[in-house]
Amino acid sequence: MDIKQIFKNNELWIKDKLSMDKDFFKNLSKDQRPEILYIGCSDSRVTAEELMGVSPGEAFVHRNVANMVSNIDLNVQTVLNYAVNQLEVKHVVVCGHYGCGGIKAAMESKDLGILNPWLRNIRDVYRIHKSTLDKIDSEEERYKKLVELNVQEQCINLIKTACVQQASKSRDIKVHGWVFDMSTGELIDLKINFEEILKGIMEIYHLD
């Protein structure tokens, strides 16, 4: 990649935006008011705004390896707190994707150095759902199922947080689990039944 080309691309992008709306950057520089917090994977092939078809300012975005919502990751927790308490987003989305390198790495018995503690969170998801995953003969289908289950568990991690619980009491906020299929371009709503999944155990995580 020619780095200089990026700046040329930027100049063309500015001209393109101004040709359609002379006040585009004036409006863009105003306070942001996104309604969605999108937590996705850092994979270079999965661009949040493009796959959702939204414009700048319409989504607050956080990305990391394998779209994790770790309880001890100050980065994602800070983004979440700011989006929920300050921006007052109405929707919090965890979006995974089939073909995720982080998920695949977690399924392999390899020492990956500094990645080990991060991938251990995904291996914990496998441990929790081992009986379901071990019934799947196809490695590819098992891999895809782990992608979906990882999204589910990260959504549950969101629901455990104080800011999401507090916001759900004071206003309408919803948590969503999605998967992006790169082979088709389709964005899939997993339609996770959180009430059913958390039935009988939410009292453990409930915060007054």
Q: Please indicate whether residue 163 is annotated as part of the active site.
A: no
CA atoms within 13 A on the CB side of 124: 13
Catalytic annotation on 155?
no
The CA distance from 8 to 10, in Å, is 5
Distance from C-alpha of 25 to C-alpha of 29, rounded to nearest angstrom:
6
Residue 189 in contact with residue 178, Cβ under 8 Å?
yes
- Enumerate the β-bridge partners of residue 62: 39
Catalytic residue among 97, 155, 163, 176: 97
DSSP string across 30-45: SPP--SEEEEEE--TT
Catalytic one of 41, 95, 155, 163: 41
* Number of helices followed by number of strands (H, E) in the chain: 11, 5
Cα–Cα distance measured from residue 171 to residue 109, given in angstroms and rounded to the nearest whole number: 44
Catalytic residue among 95, 100, 155, 163: 100
Distance CA 16, CA 99 (A): 33
Beta-bridge partners for 181: 186
97 an active-site residue?
yes
Catalytic residue chosen out of the listed positions 16, 33, 45, 120: 45
Contacts of 160 (CB under 8 A, 6+ apart): 71, 205
Task: Report the catalytic residues.
Answer: 41, 43, 45, 97, 100
